[in-house]
Amino acid sequence: MANSFSETTHHYKTDHLKNDPLEELREPLSRALDLNEHDFNSLSPEVKNLLSGRRRLGTNWLDDYEVVAEVISDNGCHCGVKIGQKAVFDMRHRLKTELSDIVCCMNLLSPVLAVFYMTFDRASEGLNPVTRVWTNYECVKTQDVLAQNKARVRVYLRDSKTHETVTNAVLDNS
């Protein structure tokens, strides 16, 4: 059921926002932060990139995407979690019970919080909120067999309307 590494790896362009002049933000930001033209032009590329991303994301992206945690291994799980079961979350970190069929086990579901800690920052940088580094995690309960047998989960981003897996960057218009 699990894909090979080469089938699931997707590389993203590094900076989707570097050419954004932030023209419509100059006046309100300068007024709010008491910046002159030199101050505004001296903002670091990282700050400009973050401002650009957050403005371009708006609030719709919170409704446009879902994070899915799908069980890919259930070895030794005592909670009843089975391969193929899914927990579907909205981007506000709420479990969508109507789309989820997983047994609610906090030992297995609590690690997904780490995924949400990075979603907005990654998306505001123009990247896919679910990075390749965080595509898998496992149950936090080790049991007596030193974590050899436990449930494991694959995490991915999907479109909330079509339920298609999203692999490009959120702000990538290509």
Report pLDDT for 161.
95
What would the mean pLDDT of 12-39 be, rounded to a whole number? 76
DSSP 96-140: -TTT--S---HHHHTTHHHHHHHHHHHHHTTS-SS-GGGSEEE-S
* Mean pLDDT value across the chain: 77
CA–CA dist 142, 88 (Å, integer) = 24
AA identity, residue 59: T
**pLDDT value at 132 more than 70:** no
97 or 43, greater pLDDT: 97
Higher pLDDT, 3 or 142: 142
Reported confidence tier of residue 88, pLDDT bands at 50, 70, 90: very high
> Is 144's pLDDT higher than 90?
no
Question: What does the radius of gyration of the chain's CA atoms come to, in whole angstroms?
Answer: 20
List the single range of 3-7, 104-108, 137-141 with lowest mean pLDDT. Answer: 3-7
- Encode pLDDT of 101-131 as tens digits: 998 888 888 888 877 777 766 766 667 676 6
Output the pLDDT for position 162.
96
pLDDT at 14: 56
Mean pLDDT in residue range 69-74: 92
Strand duo 65-74 + 151-159: pairing: antiparallel
Backbone angles phi and psi of 53, in degrees to 5: -65, -45
The residues spanned by each domain of the chain are: 23-57, 61-159
How many CA atoms lie less than 13 Å away from 172 in the CB half-sphere?
Answer: 15
In the predicted structure, residue 20 carries a pLDDT above the cut 80: no
Q: Mean pLDDT over residues 93-101, rounded?
A: 93
